[in-house]
Structure formats: C-alpha cells, structure tokens
C-alpha cells in the first residue's frame, strides 16, 4: 500500500506541476480532461472514490491576446472542487490546492488557497490567494499574486518563470 501511495503521489506531483520546486508556475502536461483522468487514477490508487464537484472545470476570459476581438479564453481546473472520498487530502493540503489554467495547448498550474478573475485598471487579471510561504512569509500569512495574460504567457512581478522547471 505504501509503495502504491508513493508511486501515485509522485505521478500526481508531476501531473499537477508540483515537481518544479520553485515559486514559478509549472507548465503542465496534457489537457484538462487528461489532468482529470490522472486525478481520478491517483484517487483510485489510494482506494478512494473520486468525484468532480460543481465549478471544478470552467472558462475564463483572459483579455486581449492572440484574439484581440474577443480575448483569449482559458479553461480552468480547480482542484479544490475535486473529492477523493476516503483520502480527503489527496488534492489539497495546508498550503492550498492546485489551480490549472489551459490556453490552447499550453497549461500552467499554481498552488493556491483561492483565486478569481478581477478587473484592474481595465484589464482582466488572474488573482491568486497564496500561502505566505510563496511570498517570503509564514504559511499562515496570506498574500496575493496578480497575473496578466499577454497573449502567450502570464506576466507577474518577480523573476520570469523558467519553462524548463
């Protein structure tokens, strides 16, 4: 059982982008549907019962980008809305849950305590609620990260993410 849990945890960590080790968002493999399939398999490896709650998969308008007329659309997967009955902490921990945003064939994932799309100075931005450890504080301190889509990637203050991580 332990080996199965360790193997499953490693697979989901890679699938969720947790293996990057840094504060930068991880580029994620596959589609939202494939991410859901990996999450289900991980839950089942833990002998849990998988379910997808309302609002787990959605769509956001990221604003001007490649399609300046309507704005780029992003498909979201909010892991806080996934349940693994019998292994309740399968998808979330004390630092939050993963959020996946898929734009075309590219996807990014962040560990968040919450998120929303907000308008700031006339621009739609992705606002992430982060565990304080991501921002130089203690885990219990909440901080925020704001990301703006530029048509190819998300821009934020701080070092540019390394897609190789």
Residue 29 lies in a domain: yes
Number of domains in the chain: 1
The pLDDT confidence band at residue 136, using thresholds 50, 70 and 90, is confident
Backbone angles phi, psi at 95, to 5 degrees: -90, 5
> Are 50 and 36 a contacting pair, CB within 8 Å?
no
Tokens read off for 10: 């490693």
Residue 37 lies in a domain: yes
* Residue length of the chain: 165
d(CA 112, CA 157): 17
How confident is the model over 84-111, as pLDDT tens digits?
999 988 999 988 999 999 998 889 999 9
93-104 exposure pattern, b = at least 16 Cβ within 10 A, e = fewer: eeebbbbbbbbe
What is the domain extent for residue 53? 2-112
Residue 129 lies in a domain: no
Residue 74 lies in a domain: yes
Residue 163 lies in a domain: no
> Are 57 and 79 a contacting pair, CB within 8 Å?
no
CA 7 to chain centre: 21
User: What pLDDT is attached to residue 42?
Assistant: 95
Residue 120 lies in a domain: no
Average pLDDT, the chain: 80
Residue 73 lies in a domain: yes
Tokens read off for 102: 């898929």
Q: Does residue 58 register a pLDDT over 90?
A: yes
User: What pLDDT is attached to residue 36?
Assistant: 94
User: What pLDDT is attached to residue 9?
Assistant: 41
Residue 157 lies in a domain: no
């Amino acid at each position: 059982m332990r080996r199965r849990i360790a193997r499953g945890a490693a697979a989901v960590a890679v699938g969720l982008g947790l293996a990057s080790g840094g504060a930068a968002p991880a580029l994620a493999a596959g589609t939202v549907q494939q991410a859901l399939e990996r999450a289900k398999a991980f839950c089942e490896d833990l002998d849990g019962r998988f379910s997808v709650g309302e609002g787990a998969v959605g769509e956001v308008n990221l604003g001007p980008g490649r399609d300046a007329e309507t704005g780029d659309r992003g498909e979201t997967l909010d892991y806080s809305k996934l349940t693994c009955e019998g292994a309740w902490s399968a998808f979330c921990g004390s630092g939050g849950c993963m959020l996946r945003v898929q734009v075309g064939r590219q996807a990014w994932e962040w560990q968040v305590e919450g998120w929303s799309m907000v308008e700031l100075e006339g621009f739609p931005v992705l606002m992430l609620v982060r565990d304080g450890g991501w921002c130089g504080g203690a885990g219990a301190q909440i901080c925020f990260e704001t990301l703006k889509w530029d048509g190819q990637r998300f821009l934020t203050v701080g070092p540019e993410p390394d897609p190789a991580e």
